[in-house]
Amino acid sequence: MNPLHERFARVRTFIFDVDGVLTDGSVNALASGEQFRTFNIRDGYGIEQALKAGYKIAIVSAGNQEGVRKRLEFLKIKDIFMGGPSDQKLNAYLGYLTRDAIAEDEVLYMGDDLPDWEILARPTLLSTCPADAADEIQAVCDYISPKPGGRGAVRDVIEQVMKAQGKWLR
């Protein structure tokens, strides 16, 4: 078994950023002031399967759009940490691990840009990013998905973990 496969086999908790990970990073601004994002349905299916299999899933994002929150709640994600300053993502992440007594070596975190760097650079967790993540992020990640953000990167890492543990459907 290769070392990356062994790391996937230890994961019990997935933590995702939103913009650039669950979405392609685009923001559509309407005259009403609403700023909406587009999510990938296959990423949503991967999240659904991971939750059914008993994995924990959390969101850590500086953004705080109500439409995004409703999508995450529709996907049955309960641990949603949104709206803090981007330089406070590490505090939200560490607070979640402490609150739920989560071992960091059982965490897969996916981020795409500099506000995620402090978390992704931590040596114990499995750090991942989409194919189109910032260069600085790719440089610190253990795994770079071949899929871009909002276009299957989340589904890819969920499948990698579940397949390594013999839990993926097919």
Return the domain boundaries, the chain.
3-165
Cα 164 to the chain's mean position, in Å? 18
Average pLDDT over the chain, rounded to an integer: 95
Q: Please check whether residue 13 is in contact with residue 106, taking contact to mean a CB–CB distance below 8 angstroms.
A: yes
* Number of other CB atoms surrounding residue 158 within 10 Å: 29
Hey, which residues does 144 pair with through a beta bridge?
129
Quick one: pLDDT band at residue 9, thresholds 50, 70, 90?
very high
pLDDT above 90: residue 137: yes
In the annotated binding site, the residues are: 17, 19, 112
Residue 30: its pLDDT value, please?
Answer: 87
The predicted pLDDT at position 83 comes to 86
54-107 per-position pLDDT tens digit: 999 999 998 888 899 999 999 999 999 998 777 789 999 999 999 999 999 999
Is the pLDDT score of 170 beyond 70? no
Question: Is it the case that residue 44 has pLDDT exceeding 80?
Answer: yes
Q: Which residues are annotated as a binding site for substrate?
A: 19
Torsion of CA 60, 62, 63, 67, to 10 degrees: 20
Residue type (1 letter), 25: G
Rg over CA atoms, the chain = 15
Q: What is the CATH number of domain 3-165?
A: 3.40.50.1000
Q: In whole angstroms, how far apart are CA 84 and each of 115, 137, 146?
A: 11, 21, 29
Q: Which residues participate in the annotated binding site for Mg(2+)?
A: 17, 112
Q: What is the largest CA-CA distance in the chain?
A: 53
Read off the DSSP letter of residue 115.
Answer: G
Q: By percentage, how much of the chain surpasses pLDDT 90?
A: 85
Which residue, among 86, 154, 77, has the nearest Cα to 119 in the 3D structure? Answer: 86
Higher pLDDT, 85 or 135: 135
Asked if pLDDT for residue 36 goes beyond 90, the answer is: no
pLDDT digit string, tens, across residues 138-149: 999 999 999 999
Q: What is the pLDDT of residue 1?
A: 64
